[in-house]
């Protein structure tokens, strides 16, 4: 569940709460007053909140672990990992964690409130213009570069529902609960598959090798293909079949779907989608630099 409020309305400065608004508060967590529920997932609820020292400034989002998960070590670890990584890394395209309470119940993390729509929701309305798709992908790549460089961890769950796009086009990468270090990734093949299967790198579902930062680049490539082509590069009804396709099936050339697509863009997409991690670009930073050049070259295209 993203720690953000999805809306098509432009972002505005928080308005001062009226006395009547305060009577409608739905709860409290430590110094945080919960104003209203913004969203809910299987594990978490997300509330719009204000700090007791700044009444009326409801400009925070609090992600709480549901009470029924307070004894589940896996669910608690996700919350703790998000708090740890979110307070360790800083970048304009990553959602920061401002405060957290994850040592004991109630478990929660606090972030700024961000107004926008998930990329997943935007794609339901049709594919974006090529320059916008490249811009969103470049911002996600820059967020990944900061994450990789500042923490040594990979995101592990890059997908459209974890990218929030603001009214001004600013993209924010969300949900750091699945972040893993290079040492931890070696054991992933023995764990339940993390992330969404449509975006998962081949090495993350095989014991042949470990995952690293280039696994995030594969997921970024799937997302970029989807934005440009209007559909996923690999699709299947059965999870086992989809996993096998990620390992072995070659995606249809994106220029077969979009014949007007410049060859350099198609080249980047398919290099990101390489089955062997060594054939993908070296780093998220290198991908971001290439996307900047492509943005400029494709600025006037649709």
Q: Which residues are annotated as catalytic? A: 157
Q: How far apart are CA 234 and CA 229, in angstroms?
A: 12
Q: Quick one: tokens of 241?
A: 């079949």
Q: How far is CA 123 from the centre of its chain?
A: 15
CA-based nearest residue to 27, from 53, 50, 44: 50
Do residues 226 and 163 lie in contact, with contact meaning Cβ atoms separated by under 8 Å?
Answer: no
Tell me whether residue 181 is exposed, middle or buried, using C-beta atoms within 10 angstroms of its C-beta: 0 to 12, 13 to 18, 19 or more: exposed
**DSSP string spanning 223-276?**
HHHHHHHSS-SS--SSHHHHHHHHHHPPPPPHHHH-TTS-HHHHHHHHHHT-SS
In a 13 Å sphere around the CA of 232, the CA atoms on its Cβ side amount to 17
Q: How far apart are CA 16 and CA 126, in angstroms?
A: 37
């Amino acid at each position: 569940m993203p720690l953000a409020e999805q809306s098509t309305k432009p972002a505005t400065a928080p308005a001062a709460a009226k006395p009547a608004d305060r009577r409608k508060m739905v709860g409290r967590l430590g110094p945080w007053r919960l104003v209203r529920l913004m969203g809910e997932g299987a594990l978490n609820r997300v509330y719009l909140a204000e700090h007791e020292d700044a009444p009326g400034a409801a400009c925070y989002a609090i992600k709480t672990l549901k009470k029924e998960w307070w004894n589940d070590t896996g669910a608690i670890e996700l919350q703790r990992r998000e708090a740890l990584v979110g307070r360790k890394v800083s970048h304009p395209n990553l959602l920061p964690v401002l405060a957290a309470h994850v040592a004991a119940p109630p478990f929660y993390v606090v972030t700024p409130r961000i107004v926008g729509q998930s990329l997943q929701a935007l794609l339901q309305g049709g594919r974006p213009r090529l320059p916008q798709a490249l811009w969103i992908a470049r911002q996600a790549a820059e967020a990944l570069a900061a994450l990789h460089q500042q923490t040594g961890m990979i995101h592990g769950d890059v997908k459209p529902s974890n990218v929030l796009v603001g009214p001004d086009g600013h993209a924010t990468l969300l949900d750091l609960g699945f972040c893993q270090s290079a040492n931890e990734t070696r054991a992933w093949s023995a764990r339940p598959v993390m992330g969404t299967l449509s975006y998962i790198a081949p090495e993350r579902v095989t014991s042949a090798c470990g995952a690293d930062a280039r696994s995030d680049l594969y997921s970024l490539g799937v997302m970029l293909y989807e934005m440009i082509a209007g559909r996923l590069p690999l699709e299947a009804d059965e999870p086992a079949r989809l996993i096998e396709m990620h390992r072995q099936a070659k995606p249809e050339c994106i220029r077969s779907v979009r014949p007007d697509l410049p060859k350099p863009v198609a080249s980047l997409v398919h290099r990101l989608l390489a089955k062997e991690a060594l054939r993908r670009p070296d780093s998220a930073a290198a991908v971001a630099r290439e996307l900047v050049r492509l943005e400029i070259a494709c600025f006037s295209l649709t």
